[in-house]
Amino acid sequence: MNSAIAIKHKFEQLPCIAHDPDKLETLLDANSFRDRLHHEIAHAKSRIYLVALYLEDDEAGRNILTALYEAKQANPALDIKVLVDWHRAQRGLIGAAQSDGNAALYHDYAQKYEHQVEILGVPVRNREVFGVLHLKGFIIDDKVIYSGASLNDVYLAQKDRYRYDRYHVIENSSLAQSMANFIETNLVESDAVNCLSDSDRPKTKTLKPAIRQFRAKLMRSSYQYQEEHVNNDQIGLTPLVGLGKRGNKLNTHIRDMIAGAKDELTICTPYFNFPRSISREVKRALRRGVNITIIVGDKTANDFYISPDKPFKTIAGLPYLYEMNLRNFARANESSIASRQLSIHIWRHDNNSFHLKGLWVDRRYMLITGNNLNPRAWKLDLENAILVHDKNQLLEKQKQQEIDCILSHTRLVGSYKFIEKLEDYPAPVRKLLKRIKRLKADHILNQIL
């Protein structure tokens, strides 16, 4: 048995929750995601757990918060918890004036209503740069709405722009309960996790011992559920979670998915910055004849891109750094691009941005995740995913529809030469990137950004 087959065999043995494929729904745009989220909040009967990097103080964020509070006033027994990153919630946007961040909004809402909504801050590390809450999933009664999106205007297409992500609605009581239990036992009950709507919340430095213990516990944690037999008319669901460089089961399973690919592999990532182990497995997959499709955002579709006609900020160099990574990868694999074994699609649509992540392997496996497939996700952030086992291709039509929708705003790279190089960049970008290269800081930046 060769190594790829052995890995695939091991992968097939992962415990599953059996699921009716008709109760997994793929939403294809941010508007549908926003509307569905509001619908489910308004009709919730027992619980609403929202976990995201942030809930922003803007129109879309306030609309979500208002919907949650109104649902709580109408049904005080409704268990509502919002969990966001502790550090991200207490600062303004990058480049903005210093402020109390989104926590000020949460405090204001708490003063207006009789029945409170718990808004909890989760500190994965003592400082934001070294790790954040990147866990995803909204649990509403027995439904899991999974997306890499956070909650603000651009993710929810509230105004004239959107940030494109993936959106899935899964109605499964076992999955919802497993994910809810993880939130309760590993996050809510921790001494490191505190209410953000309190004006007298603790300072991060006083939480350092609790954060250390919290992170150590999270690194050992996993979703708990009863393994179920999956019939031929069902698909399997495996929820996965991971944190840290060592012993990270999510990282292991993502790597195994790529290593076990036999015929075809599709990867979506917003930023082209693979961890070393992923790069290695992609190269091996090409060598054994796997057809690989990589869908990545254009530099102009990056969160940090600034148009050359606007004042330059240092953070705006990041999209160009990622594009340089992509060009180097394409150049190294030019022969695979020429033979069409490797297809690189670059997404761009007007002034919108791209935030998709995920894997599809041999039309049998699909990974729904918020993991950026970069070194930061691999080492620093708390990440999760839902692995969908579909050995009988019961979701084939739905999966293909999603991929076709993603590809509709992409261009296929025919050669690395069609990707801009350093000499093509605006002068301030060239100057910054040359300085980064001279200081050999590009490797460090790729690890933490």
DSSP bridge partners of 411: 346
Long-range Cβ contacts of 328-332 (<8 Å, 24+ apart)? 329/272, 329/279, 330/413, 330/415, 330/416, 330/419, 331/416
| 355, 381, 390, 402: the active-site residue | 355
Q: Which two tokens stand for residue 118?
A: 């718990």
| 142, 281, 383, 402: the active-site residue | 383
Is 389 among the residues known to form the active site? no
Burial 137-157 (b: 16+ CB within 10 A, else e): bbbbebbbbbbbbbbbbbbbb
CB of 282 closer than 8 Å to CB of 258: yes
Give residues with Cβ within 8 angstroms of 8, minimum separation 6: 260, 262
Sign of CA dihedral 22, 167, 257, 405: positive
Q: In angstroms, rounded to a whole number, what is the distance separating the alpha carbons of residues 41 and 70?
A: 10
Is 355 among the residues known to form the active site? yes
Is 107 among the residues known to form the active site? no
Complete DSSP assignment for 249-302: HHHHHHHHHHHT-SSEEEEEESS----HHHHHHHHHHHHTT-EEEEEEE-GGGS
Long-range Cβ contacts of 324-332 (<8 Å, 24+ apart)? 324/421, 324/422, 324/433, 325/272, 325/273, 325/446, 326/272, 326/296, 326/419, 327/416, 327/419, 327/420, 327/421, 329/272, 329/279, 330/413, 330/415, 330/416, 330/419, 331/416
| 56, 128, 153, 165: the active-site residue | 165
User: One-letter amino acid identity for 411?
Assistant: R
Q: Which two tokens stand for residue 60?
A: 């879309």
| 19, 87, 134, 168: the active-site residue | 134
CB of 381 closer than 8 Å to CB of 131: yes
| Catalytically annotated residues | 134, 165, 355, 383
